[in-house]
Chains A and B, each alone.
Chain A
């Protein structure tokens, strides 16, 4: 017992220390005073994305200076080893990850709102304890439908009192009874049948199985005959797809925009290929989620997101359980590490600011824990691929790492105006932007990217551009005007966050599905041999060895480089 308490205390201290690091690293700066254009870089010439799949091997490599940056650290043992090491500095931040228990509300007994509310009451009482027991403090309990880090997070303050006795009272008040064996009977006399929580097997996701068992045990305490049923993950998804389940566990990584709630809880998404797994269909919720999806501005989006979360906390189609911290480590012989309480050290500003403490020039070795599947930006949806692609391509807007608000990036300003049918976005591009091959980036590139994606129905960006009605460019003014078919505040984030691709490359792509830009040679204006993987990001792609590494070199045309600085002056 004493050992266990000591373990929790140690874990808690480590987490507190990790969260203090950002405050120390970026002292004196906050969201309002943050100026992304005060940063200059990249300082280092060479960057290697090194593929090391085994975390133990990655930790050994980091201790021997073979790796500088390590992301996606989630095993408590690894976090402790790094926290106690003398070679690495850890940083942690809340993330957009969320783990839920989803009920199938299409059939009895989980079609009963009162029962789902009672289930959430028993989970509310134990969530903190479970998270601490299973993750040693390296995850945070999640009781909301959007993670705490979301700018639209709504604390669930008007919840029913937690605990099994309160849940039993709540059920009794609604007319539920218990049979002699102690199992629940609905007000209409139907006995609650034995049900199952589908979860992946412990060999695949040990904590998911344990949570399913803990939730089952807690629900049995209020008279629900329920068991965890570990099955193959793909088999679980297949059963959920055809609604052949009572409840299941699932986890998502969401984004800063709350319109993802539409995908999860709007009745129109309860279709094949849709993400409304619970099958919740509530007219009021549908209406609010629809309005949220097409919210005209930020204040109305905020109000609608809040309302949607309140309705969800009454309907409880899913029970939130925990959210993972994002943890990364960087060798402590580097200066220039940038972190905030919402962003771990493995970010672009760190990448461009890193300099060795001992001075001089040194390559950066940045770990990727899975193989790069494809470097085709039109098809890739893997986060590992986008670690590399994100260093190459940029979008018109960026995100404030302190507040998650929009920041100008390739676009120095933007304007949203109401049109006849929908919003009109006018982006004014920064002057003198250049592609990595030295050619100028113009508004034509922005318009062509959108049109190319729309004309080819490219699935990866289909939802981003499907509502674009037309694009108009004004080369002299440096503006691109994008007219949408409808109004939605999120169009700005979708269009503004989309990578801009070079027209002079894209127009020669024979088959976008099979396009492998990293394998197709291209010559820069100065005669340098490059590939068609050309963007405006801080590093230029040079070479990739499948399963081994990706080599990049500093982009001298990057807008935050010294050249950019001179131009800005």
Chain B
């Protein structure tokens, strides 16, 4: 309990640091949020009016207070790019990003896990070769190339999937809309699974190969336990903590890295919004997006810690002692 409390306090401290850095880093960074809005037809007076409109003419301390108030109340203010509340912008995009990333992450990790374990158990088999090859492919080919190739094959030459977006134009009504949505998300999700499972399988395979050679696995086999129990209850359980850590900590990175998939398939997601907000120095939007990403990272970290305690009795014992 005390350990958990310590972790919570540590996470809160991280969030405070992120909040402060978020404010100052964006303002120290070269560039001006008004650059993307004005053009040579704007006179310096008009630019001043614009700065006043966004409160950029106020003292930095005053801006900081407003910023902290907006962040802690989860209001986030208006996006300078769109004039729409940042919260509404995120609400529009988060479902698409979740619909893209969650199935992709679940499917690629499940497939990677299954193939990785199989490859470790059947050294030299065709499964191991598939794992090695898919791992190499996922590390060697840029994602946009693979995705464009898939788009070309399955949306153009053999048009079984749509070319763009999350919905048909015009969208169908009722339950058909749900199927239409799934149909639109299928190819982007499939592309992420293709790109993701290989690396994960390779990682699992390597760890499982090592685990299968450990003394405790040998002991379990010597005890005459069924093979599947040796594999899943002993060897796999041994590698579970680092696997969970990798999975959970990859989540924030995947969200921000979704930008390429969102661009190629013209999806309206958070990754693209984050990139545009950062590039155009949209302080409220970028601040909110980075704050939420930090929250996600901290939550995943906490989640990983809790999972560690749940799956590894050694950590549980240490925690209860400490």
Contacts and interface: CB of A to CB of B under 8 A. Distances in A.
A263 interface: yes
Contact of B32 (A51, A238, A458): A238
Nearest to A62: B163
Given A237-B31, A273-B48, A547-B266, A513 B53 contact: yes
Contacts of A255: 41
B169 A548 contact: yes
Interface stretch (A37-45, A52-60, A300-308): A52-60
Interface string A364-404: 01000001011010010100000000000000000000000
A514 B41 contact: no
Interface in A220-257: 232, 234-235, 237-239, 241, 252-255
Contacts of B53: 459, 513
B266 A51 contact: yes
Given A54-B266, A235-B31, A64 B45 contact: no
A232 B30 CA distance: 9
Contact of A273 (B47, B84, B279): B47
Given A53-B266, A374-B84, A462-B43, A237 B163 contact: no
Interface residues of B, number: 56
Interface in B242-259: none
Interface string B14-47: 0000000000000001111011011111111111
B217 interface: no
B51 to A, nearest CB: 8
Contact of B151 (A60, A373, A457, A459): A60
B167 interface: yes
A106 interface: no
A450 to B, nearest CB: 16
Given A66-B163, A547-B267, A379 B83 contact: yes
Contact of A545 (B50, B167, B263, B279): B167
A254 B30 CA distance: 26
A255 B41 CA distance: 9
Interface of A: 48, 50-54, 56-57, 60-61, 63-64, 66, 232, 234-235, 237-239, 241, 252-255, 260, 263-264, 269, 271-275, 365, 371, 373-374, 376, 379, 381, 457-459, 462-463, 466, 513-516, 545-549, 551
30 contacts: A50-B165, A52-B266, A54-B263, A54-B265, A57-B151, A57-B265, A57-B266, A60-B151, A60-B163, A234-B30, A234-B32, A234-B281, A238-B32, A252-B39, A271-B44, A273-B34, A371-B276, A379-B83, A381-B39, A459-B49, A462-B42, A463-B42, A463-B45, A466-B45, A513-B83, A514-B78, A514-B83, A516-B83, A547-B269, A548-B167
Given A365-B169, A548-B169, 18 more contacts: A52-B164, A54-B263, A54-B265, A57-B164, A60-B155, A234-B29, A235-B30, A260-B41, A263-B41, A269-B44, A273-B38, A273-B44, A371-B268, A459-B50, A462-B42, A462-B45, A547-B165, A547-B266
